[in-house]
Amino acid sequence: MADGFDHRTAAGDHTVHADPSCRPDDAVTAVLPERSAVPGGSREANAVAVLGTIRRHGPLSRAAIAAGAGLSLPTVSRVVTALTELRLVREQPDHVHDRGVGRPRVPIDVDTSAVAACGIHLGLSTTTVGLADLRGRLLESERMPTPAGSAEDALTSIAERVRALLRRHPARLVAGVGLAAGGLVDPDSGVLRHDGLGWPEVEAGTTLERALGLPVVVDGHVPAMAAAELLFGSGGRAGTMLYVYARQVTGAVLAVDGRVLRGRGRAGGIAHLPVGGDVRCGCGARGCLEVTVAERTVLAEALRAGVVDRPDIRSLHVAAADGHPDADRLLTGRARALGRAVAVLRDLHDPDVVVLGGQAVTDAPGHFPELRDSFAAASALPGTELLRQNSFGPDVQAVAACTGVLERVYAHPFGSR
């Protein structure tokens, strides 16, 4: 490969290479094969059930997995052997339950030591790259200003950062790279159009696959965050979850019975939901949600009011913590506007859970009560106990970006898509 990297992709239906004689760069190896892989069938269905049971409830004995997955013990043992070879699960001798009768039962858990997923969150101002283990826990992440210039140049320099990140984790078997982005995203083709960045339709998935030699999964960033919440957070699998995101951009997505409703990638555009106020929006109206709550707007107002002397959101939070009345007024205004918007979305869908993500919420925990009170006042439905903050705090972008790859590992543990 031109970049000198040799990121091999597993060719067989469950081949994972970890040749210790390889140079570190060579050890970055994909688990997911090409898109033409053989379809699954019951062997895969059993593996999905076993792996899902272990992910949700592990560490578990084989007998407990059999009960949880509704499979026979011999089937579970066979599947566990196959998943162990793939380094997706492993025995946890530390958790042995020795009841003194027969062989001690060594529980099985997700193997967080080998396979990893890489992720890129492409934000309007900040891009985050990260690497997560099979439980969605970040091994490392780093932020950079989203590169200016053409989409191709930006993707090239982001790919450079990803390669540097992977070089720092040479022993990891990298299953692929997730790209989570705002704008219009087609997960099937990997094509992205991002008006905010001035990107026309770009074959982002293909471009990154070529640059990195790894499979790339492209998803909208809000659906990816909702998927992360379902897979690794508190979203729960049953019922309806509404996920609302707010930082520089806003978005919302619905998940029903553990599945994110992605539609054609155009739903959930709540940027112009009217929330009152007089901030002028690019659409010509005043009081649209996104422009009202965006970090850049709040910061611009803080600069104008003399609350901060540089456009740094942390300074605003520090000022608020120090009791600066204008800082508090700005953050309270944002929290109330968000609360009103979330109330409208809640009344529209009547979900079981509303998960709020993004720094507009998670960086301002002191203002959550105001968000909740404004939500309660604006919603026609009773109760606020369904409101939750997302499970990943300020890491939400990085975890979400890695999640697309991890979802595929859990849906297709033997590698077919």
- Which residues in this chain contact Zn ion in the complex, by CB under 5 A? 272, 281, 283, 285, 288
- Measured from the CB of residue 278, what is the shortest distance to Zn ion in angstroms? 13
Instruction: Pick between residue 277 and residue 415 the one whose CB is nearest to Zn ion.
Output: 277
Q: Which of 349, 356, 353, 352 is nearest to 371 (CA)?
A: 356
Instruction: Pick between residue 279 and residue 331 the one whose CB is nearest to Zn ion.
Output: 279
- Measured from the CB of residue 249, what is the shortest distance to Zn ion in angstroms? 12
Q: Which of 58, 138, 125, 43 is nearest to 92 (CA)?
A: 58
- Measured from the CB of residue 149, what is the shortest distance to Zn ion in angstroms? 27
Instruction: Pick between residue 114 and residue 281 the one whose CB is nearest to Zn ion.
Output: 281
Q: Which two tokens stand for residue 36?
A: 């033409």
Query: 197 Cβ partners below 8 Å, 6+ apart?
Result: 122, 124, 146, 151, 154, 183
Give the span between the Cα atoms of 96 and 106, in whole angstroms. Answer: 5
Give the span between the Cα atoms of 362 and 375, in whole angstroms. Answer: 16
Instruction: Pick between residue 68 and residue 182 the one whose CB is nearest to Zn ion.
Output: 182
Cα separation values, 227 from 35, 159, 391, Å: 22, 24, 12
Instruction: Pick between residue 274 and residue 393 the one whose CB is nearest to Zn ion.
Output: 274
Instruction: Pick between residue 218 and residue 291 the one whose CB is nearest to Zn ion.
Output: 291
Residue where the block lists tokens 């300074």: 315
- Measured from the CB of residue 364, what is the shortest distance to Zn ion in angstroms? 23
- Measured from the CB of residue 293, what is the shortest distance to Zn ion in angstroms? 12
- Measured from the CB of residue 281, what is the shortest distance to Zn ion in angstroms? 3
Residue 298, phi then psi, degrees to nearest 5: -60, -40
Give the span between the Cα atoms of 287 and 280, in whole angstroms. Answer: 6
309: DSSP letter: S
